[in-house]
């Protein structure tokens, strides 16, 4: 079977699919920063393209041959998130990219379609139209909201997964982990760092600097605690207003023996959520964020010798599909195509 990964980002979905025996021939993204991590860590080639201007024929040519074809895609989720809707970014151009993905599916007619996104996408008309279009083309559609921690991801992350097949019913495999993996299992063996320090052996294991007040705040923070544990002089003004009182996790520490909270594009920033290290006085490093997303420890995001920037790498990591969830998607596709077509995948052990 062959696959094209649309909106491929740094390659997390591709990596998971490849590890389960799906040959991903190409990843497509509009962001040139994605080229290096995609091609440095995966077998498929990177195609820099605006999906809204991409033809189905171009994608079909990438897939080629007579093998069963898989089209996977994770359209940008920001327009569908609850946070974004408060700022009316539903008018952003990305809102229409799910429709563009549907257009490409209709032009290519792959054997299997896979998509991952935020759970709230199901409340939008564009998602209903996507499902109706798939069913109109003869696809059997399954979708559901799953907890990535039940598939081996060491973080609490609820995501919408959709699978569709032209050959018959398809669904995501059952959860693979009864007990979630923990922060300790994912990052507990990394070298210690101070705020603002980088590991000389791994440029991605770098922690953002902290102001003197934030350094005092994290020292006063307990794993799993809130800003309510601090002395009064450290409490931020935003915490005392009407809305801020309910955001107890902001400026919080993770817990060693529990899954991490959802990793975002700002996970390196101590003040953006519960992103404080469980015991070291700093926010988690970029490498730690990547490991909590399921990326392998040697996954390279920046060319050798090039400066690591928190904004770029944080965005690549935070926007990624958790690799373990991607593997579950890949395993589901392989099992389905083996059952209906006798096609075998070359899954890694």
Question: What is the residue-wise DSSP string for 42-62?
Answer: SSSEEEE--GGG--HHHHHHH
For residue 77, indicate whether it is catalytic.
yes
Catalytic entry in 3, 34, 74, 77: 77
Using a 10 angstrom Cβ sphere, with 0-12 exposed, 13-18 middle and 19 or more buried, the burial of residue 32 is exposed
CA distance 82 to 132: 24
Range 272-280 contact pairs with CB under 8 angstroms and sequence separation of 24 or more: 273/249, 274/249, 274/250, 276/218, 276/221, 276/251, 276/252, 277/207, 277/253, 278/183, 278/184, 278/223, 278/253, 278/254, 279/223, 279/253, 280/192, 280/193, 280/194
Give me the helices (H) in the chain, please: 12-19, 35-41, 56-63, 82-85, 97-108, 125-136, 183-187, 212-219, 286-292, 310-318, 323-341
The residues annotated as belonging to the active site are 77
């Amino acid at each position: 079977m062959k696959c094209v990964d649309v909106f491929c980002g740094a390659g997390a979905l591709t990596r998971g699919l490849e590890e389960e025996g799906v040959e991903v021939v190409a990843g497509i993204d509009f962001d040139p920063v994605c080229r290096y991590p995609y091609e440095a860590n995966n077998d498929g080639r990177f195609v820099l393209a605006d999906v809204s201007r991409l033809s189905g024929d171009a994608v079909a040519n990438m897939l080629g041959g007579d093998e069963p074809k898989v089209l996977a895609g994770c359209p940008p989720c920001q327009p569908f998130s609850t946070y974004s809707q408060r700022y009316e970014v539903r008018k952003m151009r990305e809102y229409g990219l799910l429709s563009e993905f549907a257009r490409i599916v209709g032009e290519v007619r792959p054997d299997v379609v896979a998509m991952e996104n935020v759970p709230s996408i199901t409340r939008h008309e564009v998602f209903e139209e996507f499902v109706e279009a798939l069913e109109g083309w003869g696809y059997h559609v399954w979708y559901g909201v799953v907890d990535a921690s039940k598939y081996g991801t060491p973080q609490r992350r609820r995501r919408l997964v959709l699978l569709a097949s032209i050959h018959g019913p398809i669904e995501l495999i059952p959860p693979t982990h009864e007990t979630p993996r923990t922060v300790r299992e994912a990052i507990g063996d990394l070298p210690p760092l101070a705020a603002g320090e980088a590991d000389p052996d791994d440029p991605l294991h770098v922690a953002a600097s902290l102001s003197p007040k934030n350094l005092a705040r994290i020292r006063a923070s307990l794993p799993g605690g809130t800003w309510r544990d601090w002395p009064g002089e450290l409490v931020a003004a935003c915490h005392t207003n009407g809305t801020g009182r309910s955001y107890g996790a902001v400026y919080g520490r993770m817990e060693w023996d529990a899954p991490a909270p959802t990793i975002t594009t700002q996970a390196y920033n101590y003040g953006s959520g519960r992103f404080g290290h469980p015991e070291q006085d700093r926010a988690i490093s970029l490498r730690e964020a990547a490991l909590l997303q399921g990326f392998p420890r040697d996954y390279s995001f920046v060319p050798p010798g090039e400066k690591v920037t928190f904004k770029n790498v944080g965005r690549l990591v935070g926007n990624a599909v958790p690799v373990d969830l991607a593997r579950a998607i890949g395993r589901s596709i392989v099992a389905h195509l083996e059952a209906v077509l006798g096609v075998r995948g070359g899954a890694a052990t």
